[in-house]
Amino acid sequence: MEIDDINTIAVLGAGNMGHGIAEVAAIAGYDVNLRDIKDEFVQNGYEQIEWSLDKLAEKDQLTDEEADAALDRVTPLVDFEEAVADADFVIEAVPEKMDIKKDVYGELEEYASDEAVFATNTSSLSVTELSEVTERPERFCGMHFFNPPVRMQLVEVISGEHTDDEVLDLTEDLAEEMGKTPVRVRKDSPGFIVNRVLVPLMNEAAWMVESGDYTVEQVDSSTKFDMGLPMGSFELADQVGIDVGYHVLEYMNEVLGEAYEPCPLLVEKVEDEKLGKKTGEGFYDYEDGGADIPT
Ligand code: 3HC
């Protein structure tokens, strides 16, 4: 398959990443089927795309016509078969749990066309293991976007053990068509490149607060203003979803060892469903204006 053969992209999962990836694909001119398991989830994702496109138009990053046309290219769906049957390329962005993803690939294999390429937006899980659930491990790779996809430039294109080079080339071309900069990740190891560095940073920040020696604001003030990161560690955890970081750590802990043990502070937030911006509260309270970090 060549890049010009890709017309319709199915995005599975309409959460934080799924809706953002669907938006980026629609802005690039692709027809996008955005699918989630409940109408409520898919509608919420669609409304977030609408909100984001309005913001981009407000800031003259898109014209009103371009924003409307992008929204028109997105079809929100719950029916799995309808979402994937005519897709040339499928990007899966369902929760970061091996079992959930494997179930989705089982169903996907049943309904997708034989030619379609499957790409997982996993943050950490083994691309090889996921690919082996399907009958097309050579047409399967990782395509890892960053949050928020519409603003973040990088896409990691990850090779599983069985991935064909042509599929990696095609996926990189697609990332470029979407205005992104792909980086090829040849080693399919937990967290790939960025999350292998970033998620332990968030965990370490949490352990520092857990120790009682520092506050969330003190750690964020240092990471943001002294280290020059665009967001403090806790702000970033709230942005990506504390549950996402936690699941990445859980997997790194299982595969790479005890250095990656998730801090109890993260576990507590996940148990209390205080997951960050998406639930209105995480380390900061977004109903109350969000982070206010002292400099
Ligand atoms: N669409 C449109 N507009 C958006 C938006 C979106 N999805 N998200 C935020 N905005 C808007 C805000 O509402 C705000 O609008 P306002 O000015 O009208 O209030 C505006 O963008 C803020 O943009 P600015 O450019 O003024 O703000 P920043 O300079 O702070 O940039 C940022 C925002 C690009 C998110 C920047 O803070 C940043 O780069 N943060 C780091 C993000 C990051 O590292 N992400 C990767 C995390 S790791 C990951 O995702 C991997 C996963 O697997 C865990």
Q: What is the pLDDT of residue 289?
A: 78
Q: Sign of dihedral through CA atoms 51, 272, 99, 39?
A: negative
pLDDT in tens, 163-219: 999 999 999 999 999 999 999 999 999 999 999 999 999 999 999 999 999 999 999
Angstrom distance (rounded) from CA 31 to CA 83? 11
Residue 221 pLDDT > 70 = yes
Give the model's pLDDT for residue 240.
96
Please give the CATH number for the structural domain made up of 195-279.
Answer: 1.10.1040.10
Rounded Cα–Cα distance for residues 256 and 275 (Å): 25
Portion of the chain with pLDDT greater than 70, in percent = 99
Asked if residue 294 has pLDDT above 70, the reply is no
Cis peptide before 148 (omega within 30 of 0): yes
For the record, the structure tokens of 24 come out as 């980026």
> Please, are residues 137 and 163 in contact by the beta-carbon 8 Å criterion?
yes
pLDDT tens-digit map of 18-30: 999 999 999 999 9
Check for a shared fold between 3-185 and 195-279.
no
Structure tokens at 130: 């996921």
The residues near 17 (Cβ < 8 Å, ≥ 6 apart) are 93, 121, 145, 147, 149
**Residues within 6 Å of ligand 1 by CB:** 52, 55-56, 123, 146-148, 150-152, 195, 198, 230-231, 236, 239-240, 244
Per-residue pLDDT tens digits for 275-290: 999 999 999 999 887 7
Pairing state between β 154-159 and 140-144 = antiparallel
Model confidence at 291, in pLDDT bands (50, 70, 90)?
Answer: confident
The predicted model gives 149-166 an average pLDDT of: 98
The pLDDT value given to residue 62: 97
State which of 151, 195, 198, 242 you would mutate to test the pocket of ligand 1, scoring each by most atoms of that ligand within 8 A of its C-beta: 151
Residue type, 1: M
Q: What is the pLDDT of residue 290?
A: 78
Ligand 1 pocket: which of 23, 55, 250 to mutate (most atoms within 8 A of CB): 55
pLDDT exceeds cutoff 80 at 295: no
Residue nearest to atom 28 of ligand 1 (CA): 230
Q: Which residues are catalytic?
A: 123, 144, 156, 195
pLDDT of 257 = 96
Residue-range domain boundaries for the chain = 3-185, 195-279
Percent of the chain past pLDDT 90, that is, above it, reads 94
What's the 3-state SS for the chain?
A: CCHHHCCEEEEECCCHHHHHHHHHHHHCCCEEEEECCCHHHHHHHHHHHHHHHHHHHHCCCCCHHHHHHHHHCEEEECCHHHHHCCCCEEEECCCCCHHHHHHHHHHHHHHCCCCCEEEECCCCCCHHHHHCCCCCHHHEEEEECCCCCCCCCEEEEEECCCCCHHHHHHHHHHHHHCCCEEEEECCCCCCCCHHHHHHHHHHHHHHHHHCCCCCHHHHHHHHHHHCCCCCCHHHHHHHHCHHHHHHHHHHHHHHHCHHHCCCHHHHHHHHCCCCEHHHCECCCECCCCCCCCCC
Distance CA(164)–CA(22), nearest Å, equals: 25
Q: pLDDT tens digits, residue range 115-129?
A: 999 999 999 999 999
pLDDT at residue 292 tops 80: no
Residues 30 and 52 sit within 8 Å (Cβ to Cβ): no
Considering the entire predicted model, what is its pTM?
Answer: 0.95
Q: What tens digit of pLDDT does each residue of 73-111 get? A: 999 999 999 999 999 999 999 999 999 999 999 999 999
Residue 239 Cα to ligand 1 middle (Å): 8
The ipTM estimated for the assembled molecules is 0.94
State the CATH class of domain 3-185. alpha beta
Mean pLDDT, the chain, as a whole number?
96
